[in-house]
Amino acid sequence: MDSDPDPNLNPPVVDPAVTSTADDIAAMRIRGAATIADAAAAALATQAERSEAPDPAAFERDLRAGARELYETRPTAVSLPNALRYVLRGMEGETVTALRASTIERANRFRTELEQAQSTLGEIGANRLRDGDVVLTHCHSTDALACIEAALESGKRIEAIVKETRPRKQGHITARQLRELGVPVTLIVDNAARRYLDEADHVLVGADSIAADGSVINKIGTSGLAVNARERGVPVMVAAQTIKLHPDTMTGHTVAIEMRDEQEVLSLQERAEIESPSEESESRSTAVDGNDDEDSSRSESDLTVENPAFDVTPPRYIDAIVTERGQFPPESIVTLMRELFGETTAEPWEE
């Protein structure tokens, strides 16, 4: 007589809405830290709402499988696993009905807090800005802009020095949005930052992610700017929502630095011009050593282009990290991480 199949052997069921969201994140049709986090939380809520799991164990297994599918699309995007952690750690109950309700409530709470986070952060950051201050910015950060916008709304006059931020010139976006707010802007080339620090009252930047020791991972050039600002006595303020905190770093994980396409720095035509000597210089080289075999054997690999997207600013160069939960000295940010995410020894989608 055959025994009933073990329900634990049944494969987990992932709702199509989760798979669709995962595909959109992987293809970058959904992009931006807050947008990715919001979409992930919404997908888990949909999975919980539609779940036909026969028992609590199956419900939890299915939801973790959905979270794992979402996580694997962009494992280095800090806001994505943070959203998943928040929702899964609020999954409570002894029945499917209770688990469903707690998961949906947790996801909705996350999305509401996320929607309000930037405006709250902006109000907190604006308190550090005085009437008539000049801020120097790097790259483009909506969190940093929220601080300036809140300061303007409180009646303060703010001016900005904006680094253009090569190679993609995100500073142009910052300059345009600041002008739309009526802020006087001086746009400068990146290498002029040290010169213009004497005219700045604050350096104001965002963050791609923040490590447990208070180090800030942000657009390449942030670290050098912070070092120069410390030399000049200009305070450095980092504006970042808590979805940018990187709890994995509490257990010794390092943050991977993305290397971007070299053609953002050097086009194929420019590479060819560098690697192909002119006829005059080539004939000169041949006349000197009488041997062009070595030149002909040189390959394109002799010219290497490095284009890191981010760098790491040590906490000693940062005066404050401003979040929607308040402002913190960088060394104490780990306390906030523990409060929000607990001691991360195992990811909830792997339990």
Question: Which residues are known binding-site members for substrate?
Answer: 31-34, 74, 218-219, 244
Cα angle 110, 111, 117; round to 5: 85
How does DSSP classify residue 209? E
CA 159 to chain centre: 26
The DSSP string of 65-100 is HHHHHHHTT-TT-THHHHHHHHHHTT---SSHHHHH
- Looking at residue 131, the DSSP 8-state letter turns out to be T
CA 343 to CA 24: how far, in whole Å? Answer: 31
- 139 included as an active-site residue: yes
- Hey, which bits of the chain come out as E strands? 134-137, 159-163, 185-188, 202-205, 209-210, 216-219, 236-239, 310-313, 320-323, 326-328
Distances in Å between the alpha carbon of 248 and those of 78, 256, 334?
A: 9, 12, 11
Annotated binding site: 31-34, 74, 218-219, 244
Q: Which of 62, 208, 248, 319 is catalytic?
A: 208
CA atoms of 128 and 103, how far apart (whole Å): 37
Catalytic residue among 139, 143, 147, 248: 139
Ordered DSSP codes for 276-342? S--HHHHHHHHHHHS--HHHHH--GGGS----BSEEEE-GGG-SEEEETTEEE-GGGHHHHHHHHH-
Q: How far apart are the first and last CA of the chain?
A: 34
**Residues with a known catalytic role:** 139, 208
